[in-house]
Amino acid sequence: MTGAARGTYICLIMDSGMDSGELRQQFEGMYGGGGRIHTIRAPGRVNLIGEHTDYNDGFVFPMAIEPEVRLICRARGDGIIRLSSIAFPGQIVEWSLNEKIVPGEPTWANYSRGVSAELLAAGIPLVGMDALMVNTLPVGGGLSSSAAIEVATATALLRLAGLEMEPHRLALLCQKAEHDYANVPCGIMDQMVVTSGKAGHAVLYDCRTGQMQHIPVDPRDLRVVIINSHVKHELSGGEYAIRRRQCEAGVAFFQKANPHIRALRDVNLLQLDAAEGKLDPIVFKRCRHVISENARATEAASALERGDYDRMGKLMAQSHASLRDDYEVSCEELDFLSEQAMSVQGVYGARMTGGGFGGCIVALVQPRWVEALREHLESVYPPRFGKAPGIHVTTATDGAREIQP
């Protein structure tokens, strides 16, 4: 470490709707004028298919999306981090980069606490930062608002220190921050696509080798529509960790016969079928989802690449059924939205996306039928659940980077 002073001030605003000029005005009103101001954008992500496979060394098929975290920042010279959020009026969270950083209250600040701690642990000589953070991603919506906050914070701190970090290393650092500071044992998918997304493309990502294959998503043929159930999920709760332990129990079972098996990635459906009746029934179902979902993710990428949207849609429907029945991470609202979306002409496929227990579904739709889908869901969802769905039509965007304000 160098002797450079270190510090941060971050203000988090949820769904502000402000344009760049208003954001800069608010930044200068908060911190004063002068100095060079930088703007960092980190996208959210939607996973087209390949759910709960990333922590099983499997394949995922996400893309970076337009909803985002945007960080307006400027270098400063003290060693204090102060974190505030308009979403939580009156709260100012403070810690020092010159002291040991530990998780604390309020928990929403732990994503940024963790990133700053992991950068310091990696020997990065951070400089101070004033920053205004705006988030247009729904928190708890399954679109990786946490990963976007982590990557935006890390990218801003690196930029102000005059440094860069290889995207895969940055993703791993942010993943570790989420494990250790937010108590979420997430896989690498979210941080990877937020750092490495490519405009106009989804990415088939091998979570074991780190290999990426970018697959075009042609906006002339397809729109990606995200529908928010407004059921907030909470991945730091026990169910997510339970699913990971159940997968680990499956791996331990198969390792007895083959010690070369390292993850469910290494088990095929024939091996799984042979284990039926010997493996705990719940663990068997969890394994069946992961093993079949790996196969669906790779096949879906091939289908999308060759323009076979009907096949892609069928794979998405199979994925949702598997998540609902075998992995048991769906909920009534997600099941209803998926079923209703599939009833609309021009919708190729729809499925829950993200960790589950709430959040969003994703649908692949012919462009001319997007409004029909919107109108249908806005008419049938509120009478059933007493709230309107949030509907976002998006395209694939680049990963985190500095942009012009």
Question: In whole angstroms, how far apart are CA 106 and each of 113, 136, 141, 200, 254?
Answer: 11, 21, 20, 37, 41
Tokens of 26: 């608010």
Please give the torsion angle defined by the CA atoms of residues 279, 280, 284 and 286, in that order, rounded to the nearest 10 degrees: -140
Q: Please state the three-class secondary structure of 238-270 as a single string.
A: HHHHHHHHHHHHHHHHHHHHCCCCCCHHHCCHH
Question: In whole angstroms, how far apart are CA 252 and each of 35, 242, 279, 288, 291?
Answer: 56, 15, 11, 15, 15
Distance of alpha carbon 33 from alpha carbon 136, whole angstroms: 25
Q: Is 364 helix (H, G, I), strand (E, B) or coil?
A: strand
For residue 386, the tally of other CB atoms under 10 A from its CB is: 8
Distance of alpha carbon 193 from alpha carbon 354, whole angstroms: 13
Is 15 a catalytic site residue? no
| Gap between the terminal Cα atoms of the chain | 31
CA 151 to chain centre: 11
Residue 35, by phi and psi: left (phi above 0), alpha (psi -120 to 50) or beta? left
Q: Is 191 helix (H, G, I), strand (E, B) or coil?
A: helix
**Residue among 190, 280, 308, 325 flagged as catalytic:** 190
The set of catalytic residues is 190
